[in-house]
Amino acid sequence: MSDNTFVRETSEGAQELHSRASTPVAELQREVGSVLRLPEGHTVDVEDIDIERPDDETMIINMGPQHPSTHGVLRLMMELDGETVLRTKPIIGYLHTGMEKTGEELTYQQGATNVTRMDYLSPLNNELVFSLATEALLGLELPPRAVWIRMLLSELQRVSSHLMWTATNGMDVGSTTMMIFGFREREMLLAFFEKTTGLRMNHNFIRPGGTAADLPDGWEDDVDLICENVALRLDDYDELLTGQPIFRQRMEGVGTLSADEALALSATGPILRSTGIPWDLRRTMPYLAYDQVDFDVIIGTYGDNFDRYAIRLNEIRESIKIIRQVLERMPMGDYRVQDKKVTPPPRARIDESMEALIHHFKVFTEGYKVPEGEVYAAVESPRGELGCYMVSDGSSKPYRLHIRAPSFVNLQSLPVMLRGGLMADAVATISSVDPVMGEVDR
């Protein structure tokens, strides 16, 4: 095989970032950011863009897909002038496995197993949004305990995901201590998930109709211990990072995004909140029982990396606040809806009743039929608005399953944040977007 064939086989062709001479004007204008609806006075004049810039002054380089700081298989092509980033283009799809297509082949009962693998740092949120969409189509009303168990797990997952982010972000800016700390604390949460759901990741625990099982005995003590420990260690992080001059210099004023840009780019989650827009679906469009618990929506001011760090750190505190309230107010009762259509019979009944055995077999092989319709459900995942658009044709499999992945959409704001900054800051900025490639590529 000659060198040329090798190059052709790994090429993404037209998806790549090309030299200025061979890029159409409309595309170039987008890449240098002159199409964003910027506030007046900041608007880039089309005449000012240096389209005619000779190519030999700048250099296009690849970062990724196998770069340790790109958090998975993210490939960025950057045009550099010295160390300054002029244009960036994320090239994605290396982890695409067609999960939306797979979702059309699986029943609603099996579907949670599929979606849980998308955002592998917060699988329970994926299951949650899938279940909410299915339940909306079925018109199910959940018992209160199921709702509160879901809320507890979803907040624990937010803590675990943000801890993981704090750890990897620390590593990206050069603090190995933070990485070890973050993973250490996350381990407690994963141990609890394992005890509750049987698995550390990809739980398949939240299912249409409720949850797969009740919480294990003594869960209150475990959760209490987690809250206590994490709350204490957050103060350590503050000491290690927040007040540290080197860390602040790496983060402050780097990768800034304005509120108008964030809105135009459809950014959600910590990125949108860091620009000062108080938009958190848990507060603004409450699902589960978030309207009954007390918590604050954390927002930033400057939209820079430091704001996004501070938001995530303090969101852990808010989540712990919610978890403590759930701990006090967890209602008793069923953990899943007693609708014979979607709920399999209890395991013990199968041994004594033929009908129960048939029912169990039917639910798990054939699934249950969901009325025709279409619905969009959204939850606030640690990364932003996680949505599920589901179309049903009345059979037992979703006709169309689309997941609105927050990382996929948020990745669009990365070129805007990187533009004009230094190559060395790019690593910190990529990390502050918090992309999970499993979700970006689906």
Partner 1 sequence: MTADADLEAADAPAVTLPPPGVAASTSTGGQQVVFPDRARYHEVASAYRDGGFELLSDLCATDYLTHSGRRLPEGVAPERFELVVMLLSLSARRRVRLRVQLPEAELAVESLFDLFTGAEAMEREAFDMFGIRFLGHPDLTRILMPEDWEGFPLRKDYGVGRVPVQFKEAPGPR
What does the angle CA 207 – CA 211 – CA 215 come to, to the nearest 5 degrees? 155
Q: Mark 36-65 with x for binding to partner 1 (rule: CB under 8 A) and - for no binding.
A: xx----------------------------
Q: Smallest Cα–Cα separation from 64: which of 56, 55, 53, 72?
A: 72
Nearer to partner 1, 356 or 391 (CB): 391
Q: With CB under 8 A as the contact rule, which of the stretches 121-129, 234-242, 246-254, 367-375 interacts with partner 1?
A: 367-375
Interface residue with partner 1 among 156, 167, 257, 277 (CB under 8 A) is 277
- Establish if 376 lies at the interface with partner 1 (CB under 8 A): yes
Distance CA 191, CA 433 (A): 27
Distance CA 172, CA 165 (A): 10
Nearer to partner 1, 139 or 333 (CB): 139
In the bound complex, what is the minimum distance in angstroms from residue 272's beta carbon to partner 1? Answer: 9
144-172 helix and 305-329 helix, angle to the nearest 10 degrees = 150
Torsional sign, CA 131, 132, 138, 139: positive
Nearer to partner 1, 43 or 249 (CB): 43
- Establish if 391 lies at the interface with partner 1 (CB under 8 A): yes
Distances in whole angstroms, Cα of residue 295 to Cα of each of 33, 234, 292, 298 = 37, 17, 10, 9
Q: With CB under 8 A as the contact rule, which of the stretches 51-59, 141-149, 198-206, 387-395 interacts with partner 1?
A: 387-395
Quickly count: other Cβ atoms within 10 Å of residue 274's Cβ.
30
- Establish if 131 lies at the interface with partner 1 (CB under 8 A): no
The widest CA-to-CA distance across the chain, in whole angstroms, is 81
Tokens 């879901």 belong to 150
Interface residue with partner 1 among 49, 199, 264, 327 (CB under 8 A) is 264
In the bound complex, what is the minimum distance in angstroms from residue 61's beta carbon to partner 1? Answer: 20
- Establish if 15 lies at the interface with partner 1 (CB under 8 A): yes
What residues does 79 pair with on adjacent strands?
Answer: 60, 87
Torsional sign, CA 262, 83, 165, 234: negative
- For partner 1, the binding residues in 281-320 under the rule CB under 8 A are 284-285
- Establish if 348 lies at the interface with partner 1 (CB under 8 A): no
Distance CA 352, CA 348 (A): 7
In the bound complex, what is the minimum distance in angstroms from residue 207's beta carbon to partner 1? Answer: 19
Chain residues in the site for partner 1 (CB under 8 A): 11-15, 24, 26-27, 29-30, 35-37, 92-93, 96, 98, 100-101, 105, 136-137, 139, 263-268, 277, 279, 284-285, 372-376, 378, 385, 387, 389, 391, 393-394, 399-400, 402, 404, 408-409, 411-412, 441-442
